[in-house]
Structure formats: C-alpha cells, structure tokens
Structure 1
C-alpha cells in the first residue's frame, strides 16, 4: 500500500472530526418534556454548540472540528454537562427511538424567533410534520463529520499521478469514498444499530408490513432487527425513492438534488402552501429544501452567509462528508463511544483508499436494498446480501471487509504511533463472529428474554449519565464559555431580527427565486 511509505504515511494524520448528537429532553418519569427551549442554553438559532432539530424538545449538540478523537468526545461531554445543569432536572433520552408520546400534535415545533430566517426554519418543520408526521421527526441520531487533511489529498494525487486541479481531484475522490460507503455501509447498523425494539406509542396510527412481535413487558420488536430508526418506520421518504440521485460525480449529484427541489409532488400539494395566512410547508415539491434529502451519507462544504448547501458545493467542491447512519449509542454517555470514532476513522479511510467503480442505478439500488435488509433483519443467520451480483452472508462478506479494515488500521496505527485502531477493528470483528455481542442483540435480550422495560432501561441510563456528567470536571470548555456563548447567541438572534428589510413572503420568494 503506497501510503505505507514514509513520505505519505504522515499525511494520514490530521483527520478532522465533528459530531452532531441529537437527544430528546424528557421528564424523569419518561415522558416528553413540553417546556420550550431553556433560555439559559442560548438561542437555538445562533448558538454554535447547542441548538434544536425538529422540535423544541429535540436538542442537538454540535462539536467544533477537532483533530483528536479524545478531544471530540470530551467536547461532547462538556456540552452535555452544561446543558444538564440548566434544564431543571430534565433528562436526555439515551436512545434513538423516542420515549412514550401520547399524541403527535403535542410535539412542539422548534421556534427560532421572528426573523425571516427563523420563520423559514419553523415553516420547514411544519412541512415535515404535514408530510411525515411529528413522530418520525423526534427520532434521534448521530451525525459524524469527517475530513482528510490537504496533505492526504496531495499524497493521493501524487500516488495516482493525477494532474487535475486539486479541488476537482478532492471532490472526485470524496465521491469515490461516498460510493464505497454506500457499498459497505450495511455494516454500520449491523455493528452499531441500537433500535431493534420500540415503544408501542410510536406505531399508533401507522400502517406497517413489518412482522412485529410484542414482548411480555409490552414493547414491539423484530427478532433480528438492528436499527428500526433506519427502516421504513424511521427516516425515510417514499416520494424520494424515485429520485435516482447519482453518486458518480459532484455535478451529477447536484443536478439530481436541484431537480428534486424543483419537482412538484401531487401528494404534498394536497396540504397547500400558505393556508389561512399560515405556511403549511415552504413549497409543495418533493424536497422543500436540500436538508430534506434523507441519505446515509452526504457530501458537504461549509456555506457562507446566504449561500445554499448546493451552491457551496458547486462553488468550492467537497470539503468533508457527513455520516448519518448511526443510532444513538445507549451504552455511552455521549451517544457515541471513543471506540466507535476509531473504527469509523478506519472504515471511512478504507472507503477512500479502496477501488470504487462508478455506479449504475441498479447497483446503487442493490446497495440500498442491502441496507434495508440489515436494519430489519441484520442478525438473521439466513440473510443473504447482494455483493455486486453475488449472494453472501453477513459473516462471509463482513469477514472479507474486515480483512481489508485490519490493513488500514495497521496503517493508521503506524501514522499515529498507537494500537488503538487495530484494537477497535478487532473488537468490532467479534460482533461479526458472535451477533449476540451487538448492541441490538443486547437490548433485545434485556427486553425479550429478561422481560425488562425499555423505558426503565433508558431512564436508568439517562439518570446515570446525568449524575456522571454533572459530577465530572469540564475538560475542553468551561462554564463561563457556555454562559458567554448563550448571551452572545441571544444578542445574535436580536441582531438578525432587527436587520430584516422585507416581509417573510418576499424573503421566501427571493430565496427560491435565486
């Protein structure tokens, strides 16, 4: 492997990582908190680290980019420590699938204030509610943002003797990585899926063809499921299934996204757009905006003020990728463990280094089908996945992938002077050899075999994590940092509200007219 040479080895260091962790605020008895976003956390519109996602109740914690896994996890712990100290005894739900929810309509939409930007964010969420229901939108996940250093790309360009402009080369190689991720990402829910069972309230008023069983303790489950969050019950959009967005290159991908944003939907048109003076959605197209595209991974570029995500990508190419197939890990206080970060480093680096032929639509659909199978029956010993036309069991195909992951782990260990990467891969491989070691199997064992309450398990963990984090010292930030950030964010929201020059209708027309 050419990266093993001294001149290229050091370029493997300098991996940038950031984590976005979603978590519901719940009351100590296990019900959703209906309190608004706590003022002491700052403005959800402008705070750099603490915001909300779909609902006022669904918090999102965002770490800045760091180049050390331990720092990233410590940042998350600090953000959660501060948050837990300011939410009046509420807990952070430590699972992806929501707690008991009486009624979809009781889930409050996130409120970002009176500015045009704030109103747009809330109107977008009103559209999500009408299109998919609120329950789907209070599912929590982990987004793992990842980038290689400029030195890495320069080494890769030199090794491949490529003469293209560096930004074009980087975008091309990130798309090569994206295709490989789609080929192999079924492994992620197998290893880390933590939502094989759900509260029955989640299925209320939902039709499903999934063969659910009910535990003696009253929870719905699938015997071999890994991640119901990633199934048709969770973050999916049937209208998007026909889009055929291409992952072969940046232009093709952006054209596909642009097409979806402009493609009318008869189904969504039925809700209307502005009804009795209130926006029911931003528009009636298949995607209101780009963020509505549900995908297990996305190419990203930091957008400048007023710039749409796709404009940023088209103007400056791919800067990093966002991995979105991760359940919240209920066995970790931050929802993602340090071992997961090490494994993801190896997995994503493998996706970047391995050959990655261009996709046909049929091949891409086959990859999506593999994912669909693993999330609902990944631990089924009879399951066969399609590896480019060849049927393989999870164990057989997974073993082939792990053989390559071990080589990449050795390379990263050499670059970083550690054994942590090889250890992380060895630990995950045990789950392949024994499915009972997966978090999905462990949760099902508790709920089905030990007849425990899923809510009880979650609340105990939430209480334990609250106590641990509140008792711990700050590691990267400090309390004053968060106090100052909250004050600054409230002022930032006021400044945005005071700077608006046009009414909301005009603002929206300008936004979509660009």
Structure 2
C-alpha cells in the first residue's frame, strides 16, 4: 500500500462516523425468469392485471422478455430495510403467479430456440412501443438467449453530507458536483481493475444448460455433468464471460472513464456512429422496424458494462445528457450473479462485501487509464469468469503480473482495513467471505457429487424458495398498498397512451434529434 492510499484511508478514518454504513444509499434490481413447475420457460404473458403495468409500475417490471421479471426496490439506507423491501416484492409477486416459479440461476433454463422467448410488450404508447422495438433490435443483433441471462444490479451512493467533508479532507477546490463526479470516476476505474473479485467470490454460473450453446459453438473446453449440463472446472461466472452477459460486438468500443466529460462523449459517439455489421440487418424493412437504428448502440442502455455511472433522468433526457448536466448521482454494479441459494437472489453479506470493496476502490490511487488498460481489465474479468478458481491463473493489473490468489489476498487485506472503519458487521462479512468457498465452487461441488443437471438442482431450489417467500410476512408495505400500486400503474399506462399524438415515426425522429443535441 502506498502513501497516497494511507493518507486517504486516514482521511476516511477521521471522517467515519459509526453510522456511515447506514447512510449509504442502496437499491437493488433483481432479474428472474418465470418458469413452469416442470422447469421450462413460462409461456404466459406478463400478468399485468395481477402485477401491474410493466411500463409504469415502480417495483415490478420486465426486462428483455415477457417472462423475465425485474424487481426494483426503493432507495434504502440500511441493508435490513433494503432486504425487507426486496422480500416483500418477491412475496407479493409469488402470490400472484398461479403456481409459476422463479428460476434461481443466472444462466437460463432449457430454451428450444430464440422464438420461444417472447419480447417484452409495454402497450400501445409511443414510449412503450419504442421499448419493445429496442428489444427487437437486441434480438436481431445478439439473439434472445443471451438477453435472458439474469443478474443483480446494485445501486450505491455515498451520503450527501460525506462529500463536502471528503473534499475538504483532500484539500480539493473544485465545484462540489465536479468533485463528486471525479471521485466516482476514480472509483469506477479501480472497480475495473479489481472488481473481478465479485465474480471470483460470488459468481454462481460455472455451469449451464447445453441448449444455451446449441446454436453458438464455443471454443471453451466444456465438460459434462448430469444428462445435459456443461461446465468449466474453474469457472466462476459464465454470465460475465464473453460467452454470456458481455457483448463481443462491443468489445472494441473505446469508452473512456478518465473523466465524466470523456465518458459521456465516448458513449454518445457509440450511439451516433453507424455499425456496418448492424446496418446489414436493416432498420425499417417493408414497414416493420427491425431495430431502432443501425448505430453501434441503439440507445445508451445497450452498453454492456460491469459498472455504470448513473443519474436519474428527467422526461426526454438521455442518461448521458443527465450526467453531463448534473453529474454522477450514484453508481450501478452489474457484475453480481443471482445467488441460487438465496430466495431473493442475494444476501446481506454479499452487499456488505460490495459496499466495503467500493469504498476501498475510492481510497486506492486511481490513475487515468493508460492506452490499452481498459481492454486489459476486460480480459482479466473474462479470465476470472471462465477460470478464476485456477490458482495458477495469472492476472496483469497495471504493469504488475501475479497470480489470482495473490491479487485476491491483496484486495481482501485492503478491503478489511476499510471494513474495520465501517463497523463490526462489515468486518464480519468480509471475514466470512474470506473463509468460505466461492459460490461457484459450492454449486459445482453439489452438481458433481450427485452427477446432477444444473436444471434439476435449480428446480429444487426454486420450489424451496417459493415456500420460503410464501411464508414471508410483509413489513414495508401492506397487501392493500401493493394492490393499489397495481391499479395506479395500469391507470398511468392508459393515461400515457391517451396522451400520445402524432405517429411513431415522428416520435422516434424527435427522440433521436433530442438525443443528438450538442452538449453545452
């Protein structure tokens, strides 16, 4: 550890109050496939009359497909409140699903072909149809099977009162919001360097159903377990590998994380630059849209990344416009697999670990990325995803190369110093993680011990989770309040549809004209 780190850690020590851990803003977005009791994909549409409009409901929506649910918690300032909200949403959804289950794994269950995956529908409004067409573009660009991989997105923000004190501690004289954005970019760069430790410990997708690769031959040396599951002996998170969650079509994108302005400009460039590959698909052919446009990114949400800079957008704003105008408000960690052993897909211990890691990334020196360094980070993540538990694996960070175990211990030792400042519960969480086997090892060990298919275990877990969620007692909302949210969301969707004017083509033209407006 160098002096810069020691000074920043000492500064945090002077600022840290006993309740800092309970002042962090936190939110979870949990994705989960609906499945039939036999373990196959649910074929029913999203149950709008029971769960509300997926266009306007604040807690329950859909991601890529009609059968890919997404549960969204409000911002909470304690893990207890956050997890209680997530449990309430799960309990309510399960009570409305007519015997269907939630698939507990990140990698999907058996899929016959892409056409078996119904794209999410959001009603007849222009904004709803645009959301559907965006997904049609994803299907035509990447295929549907990759798009129903599920995960946990974790939103994290340090409290407002922290930043002026931290700025004073560092002797910084920038405008406060510029300082905040620079510090979040500082954290993001270090997350790219060291954040692979999340899939190392919590990756839970070392195996998958053979149907996932049936139409996409892979160079990976898969082994077989059970009747039809494939695995890699040292894999941690196939979801985070080039095989899964990431997009090879985006692998050469030159996104800059050296400043907020460079980041915004590089993302906007990707949304305004035509892709020769995607142009071959066509945009509107015979009167039907195949994608929103033929640019490298149709919209900014198409950027696949393990972490994102975020700000809540206003009506008509793109994410980059919101960031440019007001700066970074929070960050979104996107590298966490579903924990198949948790009914909610994640545990408090995991979140305490991530909180501590993020703060350590803020404390560590974070030089601007050198040429080629971001690609090096991406390669490290892919290597950990496919062979992270191989103790012989070597990773290069900056100019230093050493084993994954040495890097892991370096990160854990540094994070432990931060956890000590946050309190006993954070320190204990890191200590438990350090002394337990990675989730991927636990999962793969169970499959191999019983020569069991990934799907067989997943279905058993899904059934157990359903029982646990049904027994949960609501604590953050009442059933009447959640029923009211369903009715209100359906009414809001109707109001949006009634307020539409002009044609869809005009709406899309206006949207992209606004999106391309020069930044002041």
TM-score range, shorter chain: over 0.9
Q: Give distance in 2, aligned partners of 1:195 and 1:7.
A: 36
The SS at the match of 2:268 is helix
Q: Give distance in 1, aligned partners of 2:123 and 2:487.
A: 16
- Checking the alignment, whether the CA contact within 8 Å between 2:292 and 2:298 is kept in structure 1 is yes
Q: Give distance in 2, aligned partners of 1:177 and 1:389.
A: 19
- Checking the alignment, whether the CA contact within 8 Å between 2:225 and 2:453 is kept in structure 1 is no
Q: Give distance in 2, aligned partners of 1:12 and 1:356.
A: 23
Q: Show structure 2 runs of 5+ residues with no match.
A: 1-9, 515-520
The superposition leaves residues 197-248 of structure 1 with CA deviations (integer Å, 9 ceiling, x where unpaired) of 0001111111211111112432111111000001111122223222210101
Note if 1:90 corresponds to 2:95.
Answer: no
Q: Which moved more, 1:193-202 or 1:447-456?
A: 447-456
Aligned pair partner of 1:47 in 57, 65, 69: 57
Note if 1:347 corresponds to 2:331.
Answer: no
Aligned pair partner of 1:28 in 20, 25, 37: 37
Aligned pair partner of 1:219 in 229, 237, 256: 229
- Checking the alignment, whether the CA contact within 8 Å between 1:17 and 1:66 is kept in structure 2 is yes
Please state how far the C-alpha of 1:12 moved relative to its aligned partner.
5.9
2:417 match: 407
Alignment of 1:166-181 (within 5 A): 166-181=176-191
Change (3 A) 1:7 1:345: closer
Please give the root-mean-square deviation of Cα atoms over the aligned residues, in Å: 1.2
The superposition leaves residues 149-201 of structure 1 with CA deviations (integer Å, 9 ceiling, x where unpaired) of 11111111011111111100000000000001111011011000000000011
- Checking the alignment, whether the CA contact within 8 Å between 1:12 and 1:152 is kept in structure 2 is no
Note if 1:424 corresponds to 2:434.
Answer: no
Q: Which moved more, 1:473-482 or 1:176-185?
A: 473-482
The SS at the match of 2:372 is helix
2:3 match: none
Note if 1:326 corresponds to 2:336.
Answer: yes
The superposition leaves residues 322-377 of structure 1 with CA deviations (integer Å, 9 ceiling, x where unpaired) of 00001000011100101011111101111112211111132222111111100000
Q: Which moved more, 1:163-172 or 1:4-13?
A: 4-13
The SS at the match of 1:19 is strand
1:305 match: 315
Q: Give distance in 1, aligned partners of 2:377 and 2:410.
A: 17
Q: Give distance in 2, aligned partners of 1:383 and 1:353.
A: 27
The superposition leaves residues 257-299 of structure 1 with CA deviations (integer Å, 9 ceiling, x where unpaired) of 0110011111111111111221100001110000000000000
Note if 1:16 corresponds to 2:21.
Answer: no
- Checking the alignment, whether the CA contact within 8 Å between 1:192 and 1:329 is kept in structure 2 is yes
Q: Which moved more, 1:381-390 or 1:191-200?
A: 381-390
Count of residue pairs the alignment pairs up = 504
2:6 match: none
2:4 match: none
- Checking the alignment, whether the CA contact within 8 Å between 2:15 and 2:165 is kept in structure 1 is no
Please state how far the C-alpha of 1:458 moved relative to its aligned partner.
0.8
1:438 match: 438
The SS at the match of 1:150 is coil
Alignment of 1:263-342 (within 5 A): 263-342=273-352
TM-score (norm 2): 0.95
Q: Give distance in 2, aligned partners of 1:9 and 1:78.
A: 28
Q: Give distance in 2, aligned partners of 1:214 and 1:461.
A: 21
The SS at the match of 2:27 is strand
Note if 1:228 corresponds to 2:233.
Answer: no
2:518 match: none
Aligned pair partner of 2:79 in 61, 64, 69: 69
Q: Give distance in 1, aligned partners of 2:116 and 2:142.
A: 15
1:498 match: 498
1:358 match: 368
Alignment of 1:473-492 (within 5 A): 473-492=473-492
Aligned pair partner of 2:171 in 143, 161, 164: 161
Q: Show structure 1 runs of 5+ residues with no match.
A: 414-418, 432-436
The SS at the match of 2:161 is helix
- Checking the alignment, whether the CA contact within 8 Å between 1:2 and 1:8 is kept in structure 2 is no
Q: Which moved more, 1:230-239 or 1:458-467?
A: 230-239
The superposition leaves residues 52-72 of structure 1 with CA deviations (integer Å, 9 ceiling, x where unpaired) of 000000000000000000111
Q: Give distance in 1, aligned partners of 2:43 and 2:227.
A: 26
The superposition leaves residues 405-451 of structure 1 with CA deviations (integer Å, 9 ceiling, x where unpaired) of 111001011xxxxx1100011111124xxxxx111111111222321
The SS at the match of 2:28 is strand
TM-score (norm 1): 0.96
Q: Which moved more, 1:229-238 or 1:101-110?
A: 229-238
Q: Give distance in 1, aligned partners of 2:86 and 2:101.
A: 16
1:466 match: 466
Please state how far the C-alpha of 1:9 moved relative to its aligned partner.
6.5
- Structure 1 ranges of 4+ moved more than 6 A: none
The SS at the match of 1:361 is coil
Alignment of 1:122-271 (within 5 A): 122-271=132-281
